[in-house]
Amino acid sequence: MKKIAFSIFLILVVAALALSVFAAAQDSHEKKGRYLVKSNDKLLKTAFAVQHNFEGGFTSELTDSQAKALEQSGVEVEEVVLYHTLAKPSAVVTRTCTPSVQKPWGVVKVNGGSGGAGVNVTVLDTGVNKNHLDLSVKLCKDATKSGIQNGCTDRNGHGTHVSGTIAANGGADGKGIFGVAPQANLWMVKVCGSGGSCWSDDIATAIRYAADQGTNIISMSLGSDSESTLIRDAIAYAVGKGVLVVAAAGNDGPADGSIDWPGANAAVVAVGAIDSAEAVASWSSRGVNDGDYVKEAREVEFGAPGVSVLSTWSNGCYATLSGTSMATPHVSGLAAKLWQGSAAATRTYLQDLAKLHDLHTPGDDTATGFGLPVSP
């Protein structure tokens, strides 16, 4: 009897929500946001378009009125955190189809430009121009739609730029640009729109997908001031499957503690930005550090080239960008080039190399952590 009564109650809830959907549609001023609906009830999933399914519920686009109606009906909802790509807005695009140099200064600085064979590196970003002559994209997926779809078209350029720093191979003619680990398997899962905004449920879904597909490294040149529980749990899932996760520290410096999430997660390798003279960029986010050479929550782990970085662009040519977005793929590429057979062993090896090339201030500091890892 109770079960029947509960079912009737849910039907009434869905009916009430349907009315709120109609009412919201009449108000052109009420915008939609993305929410995690903490229920797996089939009736609710029928009433709302499901973006992604999670163990604790599903995400959907809701108006404020719909979200309030759910909460008033006893269904808990949580706003989905919006992340952003982390290139500096003042980036200068150089539209030339032959690079000014084949090995950019950052690739030279970390002694990259070779290796990475057999290592899978998944970039979560705005997509990639998979037809770029200098890129060989082995996996191309899109998490910005419902579930995981085929395709990874880059309408922004950021994702193509990041990808080139990791794995550009110079092209079949050998006249193009080279990344840190040109032999690595480059995978792309699109999680950001053309404007550089990235929903955290899309990111979390992509992290889990990449881990399940057998990636070795996940590279995320994106961040937010707020931590997403969906991303936090997805990172734990990926790390549990042996994945090395690398992310940008953020562009909110120079104050200590300005580091972004997910880079601030202790399980994630957070990367700050340096210039060609090894000076820390003023805008590079800093962590909070106790100087003990142990990566803990809200700490930067490495500094890497992130100022005036030349790489591949979505129009098939090249661009020069700055940001911790550009620093991150240098470390992701190094991890591929120097893969030690496991994520834990590779992370330790990179830390040991970074200690040999200390930056900023002696020891483990808030701006560049252990230092700059350089390939032997």
CB atoms within 10 A of CB 317: 18
Tell me whether the omega of the peptide bond preceding residue 262 falls within 30 degrees of 0, making it cis. yes
- Whether 125 is catalytic: yes
Tell me whether the omega of the peptide bond preceding residue 182 falls within 30 degrees of 0, making it cis. no
Tokens of 239: 């790390």
54 Cβ partners below 8 Å, 6+ apart? 36, 201, 204, 230
Catalytic option among 52, 84, 132, 158: 158
Nearest to 120 by CA among 291, 238, 24: 238
Architecture in CATH for domain 83-355? 3-Layer(aba) Sandwich (3.40)
pLDDT at 93: 47
In whole angstroms, give the CA distance from residue 54 to residue 39: 10
Tokens of 203: 């990111």
What are the phi and psi torsion angles at 214 (to 5°)?
Answer: 95, 25
**Mean pLDDT per segment of 10 residues, for the chain of length 376 residues?**
41 46 48 93 90 95 92 93 85 67 98 98 98 96 96 98 98 94 98 96 98 98 97 98 98 97 98 98 94 92 98 96 98 98 98 93 90 98
Catalytic option among 60, 125, 161, 311: 125
Catalytic option among 228, 258, 325, 332: 325
- Please tell me the pTM assigned to this model: 0.87
338 Cβ partners below 8 Å, 6+ apart? 115, 346, 349, 350, 353, 375
pLDDT digits (tens, 9 = 90+) for 39-88: 999 989 988 899 999 999 999 999 998 999 999 989 999 999 999 998 87
- Whether 325 is catalytic: yes
- C-beta of residue 81 within 8 angstroms of C-beta of residue 200: yes
Q: Facing residues of 185 across strands?
A: 120
- Whether 330 is catalytic: no
In whole angstroms, give the CA distance from residue 261 to residue 244: 16
In whole angstroms, give the CA distance from residue 84 to residue 252: 13
pLDDT at 280: 97
What are the residue ranges spanned by the domains of the chain?
A: 2-80, 83-355
Cα-Cα-Cα-Cα dihedral sign, residues 146, 148, 149, 155: positive
Q: How far is CA 332 from CA 53, 202, 304, 336, 365, in A?
A: 29, 21, 11, 6, 21
pLDDT at 26: 40
Q: Which residue matches tokens 């040149």?
A: 221
- C-beta of residue 166 within 8 angstroms of C-beta of residue 121: yes
